[in-house]
Every structure is written in structure tokens, then in C-alpha cells.
């Protein structure tokens, strides 16, 4: 599995018209015997605002933040900015992207990509000319 365009996800995308920045989410990836698990931190993104797409073995996760400034307040000290998130990964042949399971809890998105059953070896019979 390799990563695509993580350094600058905006490169392959049209620029967004939203005022919040677009970030690459912090991600853990580990592999168990039967699946590949991705844990992505998407603080402020509701489960309904996460979009997961697989195109040509490229898995793209996009999350739109729904965090809002407290009404009637001004920001006096800032250590983070609310952001939209996007990151793309290229999946290897060892996994089956058609059966991805996604669960969001407490600002962390968990993607489970099951491993594909190994293709049985094929024998090709040679015909006599």
C-alpha cells in the first residue's frame, strides 16, 4: 500500500470554495491476518460528512468539518484551525476494496479493508496445433 498525494491533496483536486483549510489527516495503518485497518483523525467531522471513494484502487477519504465558532464569541487564542480533511491511498491487490467497512467514533474514522482471497493458480492447457 502506498500513499498518494498526501503532501498536497489539493494538487489533484480543484481548489475548494470553502473558507477552511484542507488538511491531510493523521493516520495509523496496520495489517492483521484478515484485514488492513486505517485509523484517521477527523476532529470536527460528522460521520455523515465523510466521503469514501475507491477509484482504480485509489482510496480517497474526504471529510468536511461541521465545527462552528461559538456564537457571539471572538477567538482570542488559537492553537488549531478547523479544517476539512482529505487523503488518498493506493491499495494493493492483496485487499478487496469492494468490501470496505467504515465506522466513525469520537472524531476517529476506522476503515477496515478485508484482504482478498488469493486467486487460485490457474493451469493453462496447451492445445495441439
Residues 6+ apart with CB under 8 A from 59: 52, 53, 88, 89, 90, 91, 97, 100, 111, 113
- Asked if residue 104 binds another protein (CB under 8 A), the reply is yes
Task: Give the number of other CB atoms < 10 A from CB of residue 90.
Answer: 13
| Residue with smaller CB distance to another protein, 72 or 120 | 72
Task: Give the number of other CB atoms < 10 A from CB of residue 125.
Answer: 4
Window 23-62: contact mask with another protein (x via CB under 8 A): ---xxxxxxxx--x--x-xxxxxxx---------------
Among 7, 75, 124, 129, binds another protein (CB under 8 A): 75
Among 15, 79, 93, 119, binds another protein (CB under 8 A): 79
- Asked if residue 92 binds another protein (CB under 8 A), the reply is no
| Residue with smaller CB distance to another protein, 11 or 74 | 74
Amino acid at each position: 500500500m502506498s500513499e498518494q498525494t498526501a503532501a498536497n491533496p489539493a494538487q489533484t483536486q480543484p481548489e475548494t470554495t470553502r473558507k477552511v483549510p484542507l488538511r491531510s489527516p493523521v493516520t495509523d495503518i496496520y495489517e492483521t491476518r484478515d484485514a488492513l485497518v486505517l485509523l484517521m483523525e477527523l476532529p470536527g467531522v460528522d460521520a455523515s460528512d465523510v466521503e469514501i471513494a475507491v477509484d482504480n484502487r485509489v482510496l480517497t477519504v474526504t471529510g468536511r468539518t461541521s465545527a462552528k465558532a461559538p456564537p457571539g464569541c471572538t477567538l482570542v487564542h488559537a492553537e488549531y484551525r478547523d479544517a476539512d480533511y482529505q487523503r488518498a491511498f493506493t491499495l494493493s491487490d492483496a485487499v478487496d476494496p469492494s468490501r470496505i467497512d467504515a465506522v466513525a467514533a469520537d472524531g476517529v474514522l476506522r476503515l477496515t479493508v478485508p484482504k482478498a482471497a488469493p486467486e487460485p493458480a490457474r493451469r493453462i492447457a496447451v492445445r495441439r496445433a
